[in-house]
Amino acid sequence: MIKDDLTLKGRLDIVVTAQDGTVKQRESVKNLVVTAGKNFVASRMAGTSASVMSHMAIGTGSVAAATGDTTLGSESARVALTSTTATDNDVVYVATFSAGTPASSAAITEAAILNASSGGTMLCRTVFAQINKGTSDSLSISWIVSAS
């Protein structure tokens, strides 16, 4: 008997850089592919017209990620993805939250990938130890989602 289970999992690398270019903080964390994200992947395999993942959001919520999540706990900012690449079984999403995004300093504790500039379908969500982003800092996230 052949058994072939498809699993989606991921991790993200977060880097906070000061205005002078020095790295202030670097973290690597795992994520949760939420139920809405799995449904999105299945619908894309069927050729649906659902929009591709296009944005990343960060926030200050601290409630653990759960499979039923569709939004961040407390979204602070959302930006368009800088790039999306697919290689082998991996899709890499990259976004940069530049100086002034969000408008004030924030203790970032969560992130998500979504397919719209507001609302939209959430693919992944993660909650992590506090990352302090000052207003003049930039925050870059490289998020890898693997199908295995």
Residue 3 has pLDDT above 70, yes or no: no
Residue 5 has pLDDT above 90, yes or no: no
The stretch 115-123 carries a mean pLDDT of: 96
Listed by start position, the domains of the chain span 10-147
- Backbone φ and ψ for 42, nearest 5 degrees, come out as -60, -40
Q: How far apart, in whole angstroms, are the C-alpha atoms of residue 131 and residue 106?
A: 8
- Write down the pLDDT at residue 116: 97
11-20, 29-38, 91-100: lowest mean pLDDT where?
Answer: 29-38
- Write down the pLDDT at residue 77: 97
- Write down the pLDDT at residue 105: 93
Name the pTM for this structure.
0.91
Where are the extended beta strands (E) located within 2-148? 8-17, 23-30, 32-33, 55-59, 75-80, 83-87, 90-97, 106-114, 122-133, 138-147
Residue 148 has pLDDT above 90, yes or no: no
Residue 46 has pLDDT above 90, yes or no: no
